[in-house]
């Protein structure tokens, strides 16, 4: 059986498969369906300093091959997470705490509260669904560098992953900005800003009007962006966007991702992650790949 272990910033993950932030809660519902300790790591729902109720409904809309969401960072707040969920989750697997602030100072405060308590922090500077900040930090190189620097300085021990927005002009430039700010790793992509209109009512379906587009249909764009980011920086990259099966995960790894996050597919099939892990092993065995880590960045460009 192929060796599925990968190393992320010196920490060994059992395999490269991580449920993506916002699609797995804090793992409790999924733990009723399967043993979540089989996962490489878990990325939590985005955590803010204070609890947030999120946006008004409807906040999810379906479209062919994708969904749109405008959940708006509904979460119980970072302190509640630390007190109620963290110990339970850490017993199971590695924990990536996804962090979202309404301003740069809040990012720093949340990071300081989580420092030393989680395996990694993933800075969500790219959520398109919150009015107060969110993507504002995530689209310009100067602000990406600045918020990364503030978060990094609030952390003494926990490594910092910066999650990039795809709604940008140059993903390579933004990847380099995060690296300059002190990011230890990058993850991408977050959702693409989109809209769906109810033609009978002649109004956007989402109460928020716009939402973040995710799911199978975004995969080719995400793969291209992961490859461009991986080529632009020296730090490791975690890839995501539309992964539905083991072959998709391998595509991201060949593009340069050292691990992958699986998001929307958890809604389509709650057992998506365990299936992908099993199928990754089978794919490697069938292709004579002894160590999955040998696939990282294996894709060679034509011409
Ligand atoms: C309902 C929903 C909620 C999300 N919430 C967050 C979040 O809190 N923080 C974050 O960084 N990304 C969030 N995301 C983005 C995902 O983590 C992921 O980057 C994106 O959906 C692309 O992957 P996918 O196509 O596999 O879903 C959310 C996505 C969805 C669909």
Of 45, 171, 214, the residue with max ligand 1 atoms within 8 A of its CB, to mutate for a pocket test, comes to 214
Q: Measure 238 CA to ligand 1 centroid, in angstroms.
A: 14
Is 48 close to ligand 1, i.e. is its CB under 6 Å away? Answer: no
Per-residue pLDDT tens digits for 257-267: 999 999 999 99
Of 17, 22, 220, 229, the residue with max ligand 1 atoms within 8 A of its CB, to mutate for a pocket test, comes to 22
pLDDT of residue 132: 46
Is 263 close to ligand 1, i.e. is its CB under 6 Å away? Answer: yes
Residue 100 lies in a domain: yes
Per the prediction, the chain carries an average pLDDT of 96
Q: Measure 22 CA to ligand 1 centroid, in angstroms.
A: 5
Is 225 close to ligand 1, i.e. is its CB under 6 Å away? Answer: no
Of 171, 190, 210, the residue with max ligand 1 atoms within 8 A of its CB, to mutate for a pocket test, comes to 190
One DSSP character per residue, 46-87 reads PB-SS-B--PPSP-EEEETTEEEE-----B--HHHHHHHTHH
* Active site residues per annotation: 127
pLDDT of residue 139: 83
Confidence of residue 5 (pLDDT cuts 50, 70, 90): very high
Is 174 close to ligand 1, i.e. is its CB under 6 Å away? Answer: no
Per-residue pLDDT tens digits for 18-58: 999 999 999 999 999 999 999 999 999 999 999 999 999 99
Q: Which long-range contacts does 56-63 make (Cβ < 8 Å, 24+ apart)?
A: 56/207, 56/208, 57/207, 58/205, 58/206, 58/207, 59/206, 59/207, 59/208, 59/211, 60/206, 60/211, 61/196, 61/205, 61/206, 61/211, 63/194, 63/196, 63/213
Residue 239 lies in a domain: yes
pLDDT of residue 135: 58
Total of domains in the chain: 1
Q: Measure 215 CA to ligand 1 centroid, in angstroms.
A: 9
Q: What are phi and psi of 57, to 5 degrees?
A: -90, 160
**C-alpha–C-alpha distance, residues 46 and 97, integer Å:** 7
Query: 176: domain range?
Result: 6-51+73-194+214-295
Q: Is the model's pLDDT at 277 over the cut of 80?
A: yes
Residue 65 lies in a domain: no
Residue 204 lies in a domain: no
One DSSP character per residue, 208-252 reads TSEEEEESGGGHHHHHHHHHHHHHH-SS-EEEESS--SHHHHHHH
Q: What are phi and psi of 65, to 5 degrees?
A: 80, -5
| DSSP secondary structure letter of residue 164 | P
pTM for the model: 0.97
**Minimal-distance CA residue to ligand 1 atom 29:** 22
Per-residue pLDDT tens digits for 118-171: 999 999 997 555 654 555 677 899 999 999 999 999 999 999 999 999 999 999
Residue 60 lies in a domain: no
Is 98 close to ligand 1, i.e. is its CB under 6 Å away? Answer: yes
Beta carbons of 174 and 186 less than 8 angstroms apart: no
Residue 167 lies in a domain: yes
**C-alpha–C-alpha distance, residues 125 and 71, integer Å:** 16
pLDDT of residue 229: 98
- Percent of the chain clearing pLDDT 70 (strictly above): 96
Residue 186 lies in a domain: yes
Residue 159 lies in a domain: yes
Check which CATH number belongs to the domain holding 177 and give it: 3.20.20.70
pLDDT of residue 126: 75
């Amino acid at each position: 059986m192929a060796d599925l272990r990968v190393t992320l910033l010196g920490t060994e993950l059992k395999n490269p498969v991580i449920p993506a932030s916002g699609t797995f809660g804090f793992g409790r519902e999924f733990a009723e369906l399967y043993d979540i300790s089989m996962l490489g790591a878990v990325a939590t729902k985005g955590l803010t300093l204070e609890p947030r109720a999120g946006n008004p409904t409807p906040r999810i809309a379906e479209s062919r091959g994708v969904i749109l969401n405008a959940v708006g960072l509904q979460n119980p707040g970072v302190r509640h997470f630390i007190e109620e969920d963290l110990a339970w989750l850490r017993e199971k697997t590695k924990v990536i705490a996804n962090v979202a602030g309404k301003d740069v100072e809040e990012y720093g405060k949340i990071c300081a509260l989580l420092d030393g308590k989680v395996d990694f922090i993933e800075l969500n500077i790219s959520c398109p669904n919150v009015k107060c900040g969110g993507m504002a930090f995530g689209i310009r190189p100067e602000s990406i560098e600045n918020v990364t620097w503030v978060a990094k300085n609030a952390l003494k021990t926990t490594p910092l992953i910066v999650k990039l927005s795809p709604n940008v002009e140059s993903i390579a430039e933004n990847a380099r900005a995060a690296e300059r700010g002190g990011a230890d790793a990058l993850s991408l992509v977050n959702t693409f800003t989109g809209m769906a209109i109810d033609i009978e009512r002649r109004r956007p379906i989402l109460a928020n009007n716009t939402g973040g587009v995710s799911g199978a249909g975004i995969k080719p764009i995400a793969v291209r962006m992961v490859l461009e980011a991986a080529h632009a920086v020296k730090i490791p990259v975690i890839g995501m966007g539309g992964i539905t099966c083991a072959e998709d995960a391998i595509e991201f790894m060949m593009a340069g991702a050292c691990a992958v996050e699986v998001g929307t597919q958890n809604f389509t099939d709650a057992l998506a992650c365990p299936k992908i892990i099993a199928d990754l092993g089978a794919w490697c065995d069938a292709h004579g790949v002894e160590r999955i880590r040998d696939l990282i960045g294996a894709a060679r460009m034509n011409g």
